[in-house]
Structure 1
């Protein structure tokens, strides 16, 4: 975990800040914001998007925007390690409407002498289909709001993949509220219930998530450093994971996000890390 945090600091300190004066970068920030917000209609506000619980599409999305994401993660549990992998594609077919398809995988490896058959099986967790509508975008207030819905078709484990293929459904409506403070500081709330229905059971499992994030966008760049607080409540159980993170621009249309996970009140999960590669095929250079 120390190496992950050190790597985040190295990337941050190695940003192009050293190449420009503060005044020059402040001008570039203003130009970049104007390029995003004023280059065409409809209105759009530049927000820093969290890297772990990411949005379906930019708030105030404009028709034709699209993005590919590849994610890789590692979680240290008490009896086994779990490895995450995801592939997702998001796009905006019309102004302010975002759509997404995601395939999340999880692979498990036992720790020490833990029996293999006592841990979960490798699986394609689900097929996630999602939509998000930005119903409020105000450039003067630098504020955006959106509602959305994610539907997950849960799939069976690889070792029993044909009996049946789909084992359950997760319904997840959500609300997003984001605010930029000046040119550099960003805050965002992402919240909503998750309702899980396993087809073999008539009972429903209710969970409520509140995810808050705060970011500082590095002056003169698209890079940022920030933190997510991922909170969830299931019946009387409360879980909180703190996720410090950075985003680095590798090329004009290629970004990388590095996230560390620090659980505060989880009984079975320890430290985790996550890497997200973001490719924006339609991105235009603004600076």
Structure 2
């Protein structure tokens, strides 16, 4: 076969090869979605879960699901850096009910010559326990809804640890609605009030969070790219941080999430980064 004929053959086959690759990705996505949604009861919809303000458990969780998370973050607060770390365990004891226990830590480091005693003390921020119930799962509309509650026992800093041990409580009911558009595009809204009670003064302070999320799941994988818009209303004050993010599977049951925080309307916070390691001990190999 001469060069001209080879060239013509390549030109004819290229679009066919490209179309086959696209079809292969669609098939992979369809198989993955079918694995999540159709092979077990009850019905469950595949949704992309945000990485920074994450859910208690997958929407439509099935009995026996469980997951460990480790999180690490850095935030520039102008006069000091704050380093956050968390460990959390989430599981589903029955269908559509997710439970979670989380221990979040914060460590502080002065910058620009700021005295150590002028910055907050390192601390185990709180003990958080949470529950989430998926009350609506519509397979035809690829939509799920859930309500939940987080109770956060706020602890004293290491500097004043035990004086008292528990200094307050945060009551946080929330509502979640998520929809998948086709096979790859995902949207989710997570919203609710945070009511903080200070035991020392017996005072209450309420803020309201509205978190909107948009993600694109890479064809044929569990990987995604997306963004969170974390918004807080506080007595007329409005704060928002945009958090571009990506999730990458590095093993069948191990995922890593990378998040960048870009403040849009915050007075004291600058850029931040956050890393989440997600381990699913009982993950079913697809």
The alpha carbon displacement at 1:227 in A equals 0.2
TM value normalised by structure 2 = 0.93
Give how far 1:160 is off. 1.2
The CA distance in 2 between the partners of 1:58 and 1:71, in whole Å, is 18
Residue aligning to 2:285: 285
Taking the TM superposition and a 5 Å limit, the aligned residue runs for 1:18-29 are 21-29=21-29
CA deviations 1:145-183 (Å, max 9, x no partner) are 000000000000001112111000000000000000000
Does residue 131 of structure 1 match 2:131? yes
| Corresponding residue for residue 159 of structure 1 | 159
Report the secondary structure of 1:42's partner residue. coil
Instruction: Give the equivalent residue in structure 1 for 2:92.
Output: 92
Aligned length: 268
The aligned residue for residue 115 of structure 1 is: 115
Q: Which has the higher contact order (CA 8 A, sep 6+)?
A: 1
SS at match of 1:269: coil
Pairing 1:216-227 to 2, within 5 Å after superposition: 216-227=216-227
Q: How big is the shift at 1:282? A: 0.6
Q: How does 1:7-86 map to 2 (within 5 A)?
A: 21-86=21-86
Deviates more, 1:54-63 or 1:200-209: 200-209
Structure 2 unmatched ranges of 5 or more: 1-17
Answering whether residue 143 of structure 2 is matched by residue 143 of structure 1, we say yes
> SS state of the match for residue 81, structure 1?
strand
The alpha-carbon deviation at position 112 of structure 1 amounts to 1.6
In the TM superposition, residue 108 of structure 1 has moved relative to its aligned partner by 0.2
Larger Rg: 2
State yes or no: 1:210 paired with 2:210: yes
The 3-state SS of whatever aligns with 2:271 is strand
* SS class of match (2:54): coil
Query: Which residue of structure 2 lines up, in the alignment, with residue 15 of structure 1?
Result: none
Alignment TM-score, normalising by the size of structure 1: 0.92
CA distance in 2, matches of 1:139, 1:282: 24
> Cα deviations across residues 91-135 of structure 1 (Å, max 9, x unaligned)?
000000000000000000001210111110000000000000000
Deviation at 1:248, TM superposition (A): 0.0
RMSD between superposed Cα atoms in Å: 1.0
Match of 2:4 in 1: none
SS in 2 for 1:270: coil
